[in-house]
Amino acid sequence: MGIFSKLTKSMTAMVLVTILSGIGFYGLFIEEANAASMINVKTYGAKGDGKTDDTSSIKKALAEGAAKKTTVYFPKGTYLVNPKDPLAVSSNVKVLGDGATSIIKASTKDFGWELMRVSGKDIEISNISLDGNKLVNRVLVVSGGSERVNVNKSIVANASHSTKTSSDYFSGVLSGILVYGNTKAITIDSNEVKNIVAINPTGGSMIARGIYVTTTWGKSEAAAANVSITNNYIHHIGPADDGDGIYYEDPNMDSGKGIDTNSIISNNKFDNNAKRAIKIYAQGLTVTGNQILNSYLQNNYYASGSDKGSIAPDMYSAISVYGSNNTIKSNTISGIGSFYAAIEVGAVETVNNIVVSNNKITMGPKSVQKGKTAIRLGNINKFTIDGNVIENGDKGIWTWQNADNGSITNNKIKMTSGGGIDLTTYLAQFSQKNIVCSNNTIQATQFIVKLASSNFNVQVL
């Protein structure tokens, strides 16, 4: 009877687990088990009252989280940390909050380089607000060599320079999220990145980036690879001197050693990015489905250098591409203001294998700035410009430097006071050659397609 009783109890338990699993309770048990291993920073002495310096308590909790490979949880509250003593998040740790009400904030005790740095593998930052409080140069940094880092559903805000000229933090590139090199599988999804504004010049210009992917200065690192930057809202990045929403950079391209990064910038929303929404100096990216709004109209100003105080373009560019093997497709670019070049490809160095397709570009009709071009092509080889819809501006598509081996097809261009496709250049010894221009629908007041005597094998059909 004893054996029978034990078997009966065991069978009953198995049936009960099966039933509970079928109606969702088993998953709840698993979540409760995970919650039981979760580390609450308040257990380690953090107050979250917006008054107490919680740096030491949070560091203890993060160290324990790394030891146990578990979640470190920040309940609702404002946790002040010393910006001179940034928080370090190690491998196998998840930092989790309750959303916008869980705030890690730089205290006014000092000024610092960064608020939080993650280093290692399998790290997640989720549902939390990281507030630099204008007391750090960078808010969240992903160290070189890190892998499988996920930053999601968080707010990253308020990076600035120190106002003290003697401070180490008086200059430098500002950023909301900074990703260094030798990193792989970095996901930045569904975050809000805002208020990253330079106030002092670095190398003669005021430089700020909402999200900055680059390599560690002075180190030999490969560019970050397999990076996914998706569904973020990036706004108020400035000033006009050099304020970009996203800058993806591979400095190894300077020596011809750039790699295809196999990365994507997709479905992000941009507003009030003073110079550009997206700048690419790297290879092998797809930029797709982004919404870029130009909210400036004769009210965007330079803040440094010889142009200090003078008016800048409403925005210099929505998307600038200075690397090969990149695809720019299905983005929506609009706003009350106009762009000097809504999509700019190439400048000094020749870029190869570029696709610009199915983008919708609407330049603000009230803008009075000069030289407004929807798609501006510099030194470029092997390119496809196809299926774009363009309205307003001075020129729809312009190949202003050397352009070779390309097609401009199936575009719809409507220019109420400008020209359609310009295949000329004002530069000596530059030319456009081996280009097919066909099946475009163009309404323009100045010209439909403009050709030059220097064109070679240019077919307009």
| Positive or negative torsion for Cα 156, 157, 160, 162 | negative
Q: Same domain for 142 and 276?
A: yes
Query: Can you give the pLDDT at residue 410?
Result: 98
Query: Can you give the pLDDT at residue 369?
Result: 85
pLDDT tens-digit series, residues 157-203: 999 999 999 999 999 999 999 999 999 999 999 999 999 999 999 98
Domain count within the chain: 2
Whether 174 contacts 137, CB under 8 Å: yes
Place of tokens 């309940």: 75
pLDDT tens-digit series, residues 134-150: 999 999 999 999 999 99
Whole-number Å distance between alpha carbons of 173 and 205: 10
Fill in the DSSP letter of residue 41: G
Q: Same domain for 100 and 155?
A: yes
pLDDT tens-digit series, residues 413-441: 999 899 999 999 999 999 999 999 999 99
Confidence category of residue 370, pLDDT binned at 50, 70, 90: confident
Model pTM above 0.75: yes
Query: Can you give the pLDDT at residue 16?
Result: 38
* Average pLDDT of the residues in 370-379: 96
Query: Can you give the pLDDT at residue 36?
Result: 59
* Average pLDDT of the residues in 341-369: 95
Percent of the chain having pLDDT more than 70? Answer: 92
Angle, CA of 74, 62 and 130, to the nearest 5°: 50
Cα distances from 5 to residues 1, 13, 16, 17, 275, in angstroms, run 6, 12, 16, 18, 76
Q: Same domain for 179 and 31?
A: no
Q: Same domain for 24 and 160?
A: no
Q: Same domain for 5 and 47?
A: no
Domain residues for the domain of 23 are 1-37
Whole-number Å distance between alpha carbons of 408 and 294: 26
384 or 369, which is more confident: 384
Q: Same domain for 32 and 169?
A: no
Question: DSSP string covering 333-369, please?
Answer: EEESS-EEEEEEE-SSS-EEEEEEES-EEE--TT---
Q: Same domain for 383 and 394?
A: yes
Whether 73 contacts 43, CB under 8 Å: no
Confidence category of residue 218, pLDDT binned at 50, 70, 90: confident
Whole-number Å distance between alpha carbons of 460 and 458: 7
Whole-number Å distance between alpha carbons of 424 and 399: 7
Q: Same domain for 10 and 116?
A: no
Q: Same domain for 354 and 376?
A: yes
pLDDT tens-digit series, residues 82-128: 999 999 999 999 999 999 999 999 999 899 999 999 999 999 999 99
- Nearest Cα neighbor of 241 from 276, 280, 213 is 276
Whole-number Å distance between alpha carbons of 120 and 98: 24
| Positive or negative torsion for Cα 180, 190, 122, 41 | positive
Q: Same domain for 138 and 278?
A: yes
pLDDT value at 8 more than 50: no
Q: Same domain for 141 and 197?
A: yes
pLDDT value at 243 more than 80: yes
pLDDT tens-digit series, residues 11-50: 444 433 343 344 344 334 334 435 558 999 999 999 999 9
Phi, psi of 253 (to 5 degrees): -65, -25
- Nearest Cα neighbor of 319 from 377, 384, 367 is 377
CATH number assigned to the domain comprising residue 293: 2.160.20.10
Q: Same domain for 204 and 66?
A: yes
| Arithmetic mean of pLDDT over the chain | 92
* Average pLDDT of the residues in 318-334: 98
